[in-house]
Amino acid sequence: MNAASIGASLREIDDLPSPRGLPLLGNLHQLPPATHHLTLERWAAELGTPYVFRFGPTPVTVWSDIELSHAVMRERPHRYRRYAPIENILKEFGCNGLFSIEGAAWEPQRRLVMQALSIPHIKAFYPTLAAITERLRRRWEAVAREGRVVDMTEDLKRFTVDVTSALAFGEDPNTLENEHVLIQEQLALLLPMLMSRVNAPFAYWHYVKFPRDRRFDEAMTAVHRHIRELMARTRARMREEAAIEACETPLAENARAPRNLLEAMLAMRDAPDSGITDDEVAANVLTMLVAGEETTATSIAWALLFLGSDDALYARVADSARRVLDESAVCPSYGAMRELDLCEAVCTEASRLHPVAPYLSFEPLEEVRLQGVRLPIGTKIFMLHRPAMMDPKNYADPERYDPDRWLHAHRQESGAHEPRAYLQFGAGPRVCPGRHLAAVEMRLVVSMLTANFTAQLATNRADIHEVCAFTTVPSQMPMRLSLR
């Protein structure tokens, strides 16, 4: 059954329940950017789904059925596309890469990224991953010895920027040890500005720039300059190595294969009649940096909310990690890393309760009928994630934080468990290509932290709130670390 045939009786969008709004504004005044996802979820609980709200004059339909979400995602990119304003604004940012690009350009870029983030590639990259994790450990050791409170979200973003850069581009900016490397601070501005402009009632920045817009423009200019310099260095290195190899091994079939994503993209770009531009390569570099930084760091940060306020759980995770790490400060091998299931489970369960992606947004490329509702081409569709993850039919005792529900050994004991309801990495052809890398990073960081430090929240847990800046991040995550 495809998504267009779900449901029988036909309704129009205007027949759906809707929160009361205002003329012209619709429900815009009821959706504060930082917490609008919570309002959408509250309306879903009050009105049921599907419902419709109005973003100014534009109707947006909201859904929470997990089977429908899977059906729509299976039919991307041919029947549905991502919410068009996202692609339009990312084009302005010079960041319309694999995450947002649509149409025929998506498939060849997808193949390249999947290869760069494949399990064999990450396994070969593991020593570098472990070295960057050791760098984070040294940073936290210094903080613990000085008795300072550490901003965990900030440090985790530095860690993921270093990992993504080293893996995908062959250069490590070492933001963990170099406080004045600005790339991480500049990247941090992108997703909040994307959220702001996607939700703006009109494109005011085309006519007037406020101080925030000017700061953002300056940051993006610097980021793109960094990316172009990175591309130039990589090209020069590739030419130099190709010349050496041509002298030593003149047969073309013995030419060295690309070692990372950037080399592969540049080789494809520079091939005759490729049809790919430097701008498209740069957009994918920026996409990888932003996606690699934000989502994984945030998933780990949400896990710290629970680890840092539950001594018994922390001790259990620490014991589990120490058994695997033995005398090592960081997990010593890829094979050993695979035994750290509990370290990944604490992150997965945290992002079930605090979804990093609270919803996904789509538009049909043709008229469709979903659950008996006729949706014309271009209708805005929001698919909420949390309602399904908090449904007792999908997860037993869903309000409870229970990492064991994700462990195979405890699966039968935990009651209802529907993995399909967990959509933090998406589904279908455009499922997140970085999900395995994210799992490895979670296991490495949580095992390193718990095996080497005790950690407690340095603020009241009730003072930590969800802030939606395209992804849902914690408002703060200060922790006090002590050496074990």
| Structure-block tokens of residue 427 | 């589904």
What Å distances lie between residue 411 and 26, 312, 339, 414, 417, CA to CA?
45, 21, 17, 5, 7
Q: Is 331 annotated as a binding residue?
A: no
- Residues contacting residue 263 through CB under 8 Å, at least 6 positions apart: 170, 234, 238
Residue 366 contacts residue 79 (beta carbons within 8 Å): yes
What Å distances lie between residue 139 and 148, 371, 385, 461, CA to CA?
12, 52, 35, 24
Residue showing tokens 């430097």: 278
Q: In terms of DSSP H, where are the helices of 205-277?
A: 211-248, 261-270
| Structure-block tokens of residue 347 | 């992150």
**∠ CA(378), CA(383), CA(388), 5° rounding?**
160
Determine if the peptide bond prior to 387 is cis (ω within 30°): no
Do you know the residue count of the chain?
Answer: 484
Treating both helix axes as pointing N-terminal to C-terminal, what angle do 341-353 and 311-325 enclose, rounded to 10 degrees?
150
What Å distances lie between residue 333 and 117, 134, 265, 328, 378, CA to CA?
18, 13, 29, 10, 48
The residues pairing with 22 across neighbouring beta strands, listed in sequence order, are 26
What Å distances lie between residue 228 and 161, 277, 297, 407, 439, CA to CA?
17, 12, 26, 44, 30
**∠ CA(253), CA(257), CA(263), 5° rounding?**
135
Q: Which positions make up the binding site for heme?
A: 432
Q: Which positions make up the binding site?
A: 432
